[in-house]
Amino acid sequence: ALAKAGANADVAARFKAQREAELATARQMTERAQDFYVSLGMPKLPPSYWQNTQFIKPLDRNVVCHASAWDMNMGGDGKDVGADVRTKMCITPNEENFTTIYHELGHIYYDLAYNPLPPLFQGGANDGFHEAIGDTIVLAMTPQYLNSIGLVDKPQESREATINAQMRMALSGVSFLPFGLMIDRWRWGVFDGSIKPEQYNQKWWELKAQYQGVAPASARGEEYFDAGAKYHVPGNTPYLRYFLARILQYQFYKGLCDAAGYTGPLNQCTFYGNKEAGQKYWAMLSKGASQPWQATLKELTGTEKLDAAPMLEYFAPLQEWLKQQNEGQMCGWQAGPAQPVKPAAP
């Protein structure tokens, strides 16, 4: 009996040590992300953030692990930059989680920046701003930056490496644009009644065919609700913000690179440690929703309009390569009623 009790105690001790190590790693990843924002001259996260944030998945209850950022202050006193802000994640040490932390801290620093404003103005300039803040920082996580913080070896520059990196980003970012738009096209149709309940699935796949050029793998009737497979649809989260953010992040990024005095290829710019860029970014964040978003955008980028030109400039190497690869090819598709994809003959 004593031996059994001792064995159980040893297992418990090992398990506790493992959990503590997981938490320590998650906190270190978050501290590294915080370092980027602090290098720009922004404040450190308040002590309450480290006390109240969910870094790893708890064992005593079920939680939603979808990463999210929370402003719990709901107004503040107009003075304290240490507002109650938190993130909720189930962090594991991988590249996706690492970049997600940088993204979520973008929300948090936006919350901190506009905290002194009256509650009515504590929000993003428009829906896309909040999502674009952290994504802008993610763009600046270049191989040169990762090397400077000791995460990767010195990058070997080559055209092939550039194309591979840009293709990877484009497949997740640029190809997202039609998807990001069609989600709310469908939602708006539901809300205004132009898409009837008996057409929910049909119209979903028609929009996917129109915007994405994809069709279902098998017949999908109205007994299915395929739109509900997207987290944000049943969660009642507007999706156009992500579409707008994809455009805005490149505008913000170019504006910050210009503020930092960078003159090289846009896709190689990092403004880590540049206080001039940080000051300009913080000034924009501090405006919150206190003025029209066009005015806020102009202060950083010099234009009041959404503009895809910085995105095109960023992906110029990939675009040139794709033109060469696709020369003489017919690109695109004829959008029609979505039909199931027929399996290939055996």
At residue 236, φ and ψ (nearest 5 deg) are 55, 45
Q: At what angle do helices 316-325 and 159-172 cross, to 10 degrees?
A: 90
Q: Which two tokens stand for residue 240?
A: 């156009």
Cβ neighbourhood burial of 284 (10 Å; 0-12, 13-18, 19+): buried
Binding-site residues: 103, 107, 131, 241
Q: Supply the residues annotated as catalytic.
A: 104, 232
How far apart CA 115 and CA 290 sit, in angstroms, is: 12
Report residue 147 CA to chain centroid gap.
22
At residue 69, φ and ψ (nearest 5 deg) are -120, 145
Binding-site residues for Zn(2+): 103, 107, 131
At residue 211, φ and ψ (nearest 5 deg) are -90, -30
Query: 70 has which bridge partners?
Result: 86
How far apart CA 303 and CA 265 sit, in angstroms, is: 21
How far apart CA 254 and CA 260 sit, in angstroms, is: 10
